[in-house]
A and B are shown apart, each in its own frame.
Chain A
Amino acid sequence: MTLSRRALAVLFPIVLLGHILAGGAAYLGYRHALVTQNRARLQQNLSQLQNAYADYASLDSQLLYVVRNSPAFLTFVDESDAEYRTRVLAIGVQDSLQSLVPNDGTSVSCSVFQSDGKQIFYFDNGADPFQRLGTRQSAFAQAVLNDDVASRSGLVTEGDGTTYLAMAAKVLARTGGVGVAGPQPDQSVVMQVAVRPRRFETIRDTMAREYGAPVALTDLPPASHGELSASIRLAAGLYAQETPSVAYLRGPLTRFAAVTGLFVIVLSVVSVSVLMALVRRYIIVPVEELDRQVTAITENRRQDIDVPDMGEVGRLAANVRLLHGQLTRSLRQIRQLYETDLVTGIGNRIYFNDKLDQFYQLSATTGRPLTMLFIDLDNFKQVNDVHGHRTGDALLEAVACALSAAVRDATEDGAEAMGTVARLSGDEFTALIMADPRSTVVRALIDAFLLKFRGGFQVDAASYPVTASIGVATAPGDAGTPTHLLWCADHAMYHAKAAGRNTVAFYADLPRDEAAGGAPERGVMPEERGRAMRPPLPQAAGPAV
């Protein structure tokens, strides 16, 4: 998983969770505010309903009071002759009522009942002259006749659904005063005024439509039904309660939730994008850059690491660079140790094999000839035996030093010549030179080297009677592979030994059949093949020790 994905996997859930929590908090806050606001509005609506009810109740009350105290009404109720009352006096009551009814379309009716329950007067100001007092209003008025109350008011809903606010009161005939409590069939009449509370009904209907539930009217103070339920007292023993349907707040809440959800998602995406951009810029990109540089180093496309000037990544880069430097140095040391002959300080066989391949490839690539010198010291064992290994080692070191100097000297001047030396084992050395074997460079090298042995090899003012036998071979002239080249040089060296030691033998100069015979298998080193493959050493006397 990439760093970016890891960062996204960490950031997105956290940001989303944070925004969801914030959105949830906003939703709860909005809901609380919505409920509070709607409760206030509901209360306001109920207050309007209460005011409307109070207005109609007041109109009822005023009409009832004024009409029942009017002379026309008193004359009417005092009259026992029904015909005369209807023909002559009823119009007076009608006039009294009509003069009081507000001319604003308010529907008002007035009815009078005798103590025996018979209706003796009815009038309303509506546009339908055939309208009669509804049965429920009639029952409402008659109930006052039969009950121990002087008056009563309330809402009466007829069978057709029309609601009236009725107020009925006992009136004592001959006095016009309010009848004393209790049935007095011979003296009391009941006058009832009923208004059609249109505004009250309109508010009630509007509320029912808006809240999705009817405004309930109850006799007792209603218990609350939920946080948005509200009630109000319209009159004594009459309460209005509105409990909006559950769907009422669902709409705005759902809309808010949807908008909030969308907002949360969009905000999360935007936030994560911004965070990811910042994380990429300040963390991932530097780390990726460091990774690229380290990868380049491991792939040898780069040597060093750039250290950015920033915090932990900078320190990490610096530490990686430090580590890389230490590793590089350690590798170099290990490699040096691995490839260096401990006795002489020059390259060992491993080193030689590596270099042989490199030089051979270079030769094959550039076409320049590669010359190999295979050097074996003569009489070295005697030195070891006589003077001890320490002296032998010092001698080997001195020889190596001389060989290195000779190669260095030979290749120093030649612009194109290059070479290296190694100790293969015991008293065997090699030198590789990118030059033709017959060139002056090689010739001068051999001469300079052999010169060191003339008259004994000098080590710390002591002279040792060792000499060097040198075999020379070249590629591509003599050999087609590095191994073959080594073999050829080795083979030539034995010829040099056979020729009397302290001399040089060129593989190219060997007799053809001898030179071709016993060519080694590819990749097999001379000592691994065994001495048996080498031509027999001539019994020539070497240089005196």
Chain B
Amino acid sequence: MLGVGLALLALRPVAAQANALNFLVWEWGISPDVVRAWTAMTGIAINQIVFDNGDRRDLLIANVDAPIDLAVVDSAHVQAFGERGLLLDQAGLPLPETSRSEERWRGMCGRYGVPYSWGNTGIVYRADRMKVAPQSWGDLLKPDLALAGHIAMTDDQEELLAAALNFMGRPMNSGDPGDLRRAFELLRAQSPAVLTYGLPSTAQTRRDVRGQIFIGLGGTGDQKTLNMAGAGTETWRFVTPREGAMVWTDCLVVLRRTRNPGMAERFVAFLAQADNAAANAMFLRQPTTNPHAAALLPARMREDPQIYPPADYPILYRGPFPTDSLPLRRHILSALLAIHDAQ
């Protein structure tokens, strides 16, 4: 929250520039090469406002004073903002066929979003620290004693509880208080072994935990970010647990309050181009939503189980979570943080 606030303050003078777009995106959520190509082509700079937590991202989008032109938003959250009138309708955006994503992704992003990338939740781990690669959520949620103090769990309540619920064989987006109570008990039992609650890729940059994380809850492509800090040694791996995973798709949305909607939509179209989408996918180490872009990817990447989850693994497409369960889900997270702080 504080980080986002500081980012906003830093953004204000930039926002005054007419030839720039303020882009709300995950940290390392876009290929620098693609951004450079865009700026070279259009002369429009891309100011990246980064986030690492979906709830806080949503707050920024909801804050009408936040000078954001476009954003990467999880498909599960797009519809609400669109209906709220915060987003421009993308249904009429003329995208060529080669820029169009698969129907399933377009359906998830709806009329207010253009599919950007997809991936699934899973486990990131250090291959040099784990003799046996994790295969199950149990390896993370009921860890060996040796992993105590080396675990990073995300502070995104949706993904955190989804992992626990999935491990327990319950629907990952369950709003049932009983399910959530059991998930909380599981996570509470795990909490003494947890080093920190935060995305492993973000937590790794903190001085106090750097080098101590061996395993964590992450998403497709997080191993790339983690390995970027490894000075060329790619020790981080990503694995989809055999119990299954939650599949998300991120959508590009243009905020209605942008002062340059045309340029913003042009940037969306630029990113949707097959070549740019492929370049981005390779940078992100995430699957692309565009089949034309996918065709451009090397076979090694298309066959990489770290990027494309095994076809026979159960998956759940991430959709809107029951609204009435949100206070409890957030409360579970804050309780875990309180318990962890008390330890």
* Residues of chain A having any CB pair with chain B under 8 Å: 71-72, 75, 81, 83-84, 86-92, 94-95, 98-99, 103, 105, 121-131
Closest Cβ of chain B to A279, distance in Å, is: 77
Closest Cβ of chain B to A127, distance in Å, is: 5
Chain A residues contacting B335 (CB-CB under 8 Å) are 126-129
Closest Cβ of chain B to A96, distance in Å, is: 9
Q: Is B327 in contact with A105, judged by CB distance below 8 angstroms?
A: no
Query: Any chain A CB within 8 A of the CB of B243?
Result: no
Knowing that A81-B84, A129-B328, A129-B334 are A-B contacts, what are 20 other residue pairs whose CB atoms are under 8 Å apart, sorted by A's residue number?
A: A71-B63, A84-B80, A86-B326, A87-B80, A87-B323, A88-B59, A88-B61, A88-B81, A89-B62, A90-B326, A90-B327, A91-B59, A95-B56, A95-B59, A98-B334, A103-B341, A105-B342, A123-B331, A124-B331, A126-B338
| Complex CA distance for A122 and B326, rounded to whole angstroms | 12
Interface residues of B in 79-93 (CB under 8 A from A): 80-81, 84
| Complex CA distance for A88 and B331, rounded to whole angstroms | 15
Closest Cβ of chain A to B127, distance in Å, is: 35
| Complex CA distance for A369 and B80, rounded to whole angstroms | 164
Q: Is A95 in contact with B328, judged by CB distance below 8 angstroms?
A: no
Query: Any chain A CB within 8 A of the CB of B71?
Result: no
Chain B residues contacting A81 (CB-CB under 8 Å) are 84
Q: Is A130 in contact with B181, judged by CB distance below 8 angstroms?
A: yes
| Complex CA distance for A374 and B58, rounded to whole angstroms | 165
Chain A residues contacting B338 (CB-CB under 8 Å) are 125-127
Closest Cβ of chain B to A145, distance in Å, is: 21
Q: Is B59 in contact with A83, judged by CB distance below 8 angstroms?
A: no
Chain B residues contacting A122 (CB-CB under 8 Å) are 327
Chain B residues contacting A89 (CB-CB under 8 Å) are 59, 62
Chain B residues contacting A128 (CB-CB under 8 Å) are 335
User: Residue among A103, A124, A127, A131 with the most chain B CB within 10 A?
Assistant: A127
Query: Any chain A CB within 8 A of the CB of B330?
Result: yes
Closest Cβ of chain B to A68, distance in Å, is: 18
Q: Is A125 in contact with B1, judged by CB distance below 8 angstroms?
A: no
Question: Which of A71, A84, A99 interacts with B84 by CB under 8 Å?
Answer: A84
Considering the complex, give the chain A residue whose CB is closest to the CB of B65: A71
Closest Cβ of chain B to A468, distance in Å, is: 145
List 9 A–B pairs whose Cβ atoms lie within 8 Å, in order of A's numbering: A72-B59, A86-B323, A87-B58, A91-B55, A91-B330, A98-B334, A121-B327, A130-B184, A130-B328
| Complex CA distance for A124 and B328, rounded to whole angstroms | 11
| Complex CA distance for A121 and B341, rounded to whole angstroms | 24
| Complex CA distance for A126 and B342, rounded to whole angstroms | 11
Interface residues of B in 302-343 (CB under 8 A from A): 320, 323-324, 326-328, 330-332, 334-335, 338-339, 341-342
Query: Any chain A CB within 8 A of the CB of B192?
Result: no
Closest Cβ of chain B to A114, distance in Å, is: 15
Interface residues of B in 1-35 (CB under 8 A from A): 1-2
Closest Cβ of chain A to B135, distance in Å, is: 30
Closest Cβ of chain A to B331, distance in Å, is: 4
Query: Any chain A CB within 8 A of the CB of B177?
Result: yes
| Complex CA distance for A105 and B338, rounded to whole angstroms | 9
| Complex CA distance for A432 and B63, rounded to whole angstroms | 159
Closest Cβ of chain B to A92, distance in Å, is: 5
Q: Is A92 in contact with B334, judged by CB distance below 8 angstroms?
A: no
Interface residues of B in 37-77 (CB under 8 A from A): 55-56, 58-59, 61-63, 65, 77
Do A127 and B339 contact each other (CB < 8 Å), given the known contacts A81-B84, A87-B80, A91-B330? yes
Q: Is A99 in contact with B63, judged by CB distance below 8 angstroms?
A: no
Chain A residues contacting B1 (CB-CB under 8 Å) are 95, 99
Closest Cβ of chain A to B191, distance in Å, is: 10
Considering the complex, give the chain A residue whose CB is closest to the CB of B4: A95
Closest Cβ of chain A to B188, distance in Å, is: 8
Considering the complex, give the chain A residue whose CB is closest to the CB of B64: A75
| Complex CA distance for A90 and B157, rounded to whole angstroms | 14
| Complex CA distance for A84 and B2, rounded to whole angstroms | 23
Chain A residues contacting B62 (CB-CB under 8 Å) are 75, 88-89, 92
Closest Cβ of chain A to B186, distance in Å, is: 13
Closest Cβ of chain A to B327, distance in Å, is: 7
Considering the complex, give the chain A residue whose CB is closest to the CB of B181: A130
| Complex CA distance for A127 and B188, rounded to whole angstroms | 10
Q: Is B2 in contact with A94, judged by CB distance below 8 angstroms?
A: no
| Complex CA distance for A127 and B339, rounded to whole angstroms | 6
Chain B residues contacting A95 (CB-CB under 8 Å) are 1, 56, 59
Question: Which of A91, A123, A126, A130 interacts with B56 by CB under 8 Å?
Answer: A91
Q: Is B2 in contact with A99, judged by CB distance below 8 angstroms?
A: yes
Interface residues of B in 131-186 (CB under 8 A from A): 177, 181, 184
| Complex CA distance for A125 and B338, rounded to whole angstroms | 7
Question: Which of B56, B63, B330, B339 interacts with A90 by CB under 8 Å?
Answer: B330
| Complex CA distance for A84 and B62, rounded to whole angstroms | 10
Considering the complex, give the chain B residue whose CB is closest to the CB of A83: B323
Chain A residues contacting B177 (CB-CB under 8 Å) are 130
Question: Which of B63, B320, B339 interacts with A75 by CB under 8 Å?
Answer: B63
| Complex CA distance for A109 and B166, rounded to whole angstroms | 31
Closest Cβ of chain B to A73, distance in Å, is: 12
Chain B residues contacting A126 (CB-CB under 8 Å) are 335, 338
Question: Which of B77, B81, B332, B341 interacts with A129 by CB under 8 Å?
Answer: B332
Do A129 and B59 contact each other (CB < 8 Å), given the known contacts A84-B80, A88-B80, A105-B342? no
Question: Which of A91, A127, A130, A131 interacts with B58 by CB under 8 Å?
Answer: A91
Chain B residues contacting A84 (CB-CB under 8 Å) are 80, 84
The list of the 10 closest CB pairs from A to B, nearest first, reads A129-B331, A129-B335, A129-B332, A91-B55, A95-B1, A88-B62, A127-B339, A88-B58, A127-B338, A127-B335
Question: Which of B59, B326, B328, B331 interacts with A92 by CB under 8 Å?
Answer: B59
Closest Cβ of chain A to B297, distance in Å, is: 35
Closest Cβ of chain B to A431, distance in Å, is: 134
| Complex CA distance for A132 and B59, rounded to whole angstroms | 25
| Complex CA distance for A99 and B334, rounded to whole angstroms | 12
Considering the complex, give the chain B residue whose CB is closest to the CB of A122: B327
Do A94 and B63 contact each other (CB < 8 Å), given the known contacts A81-B84, A84-B84, A127-B342? no
| Complex CA distance for A92 and B66, rounded to whole angstroms | 14
Closest Cβ of chain A to B155, distance in Å, is: 12
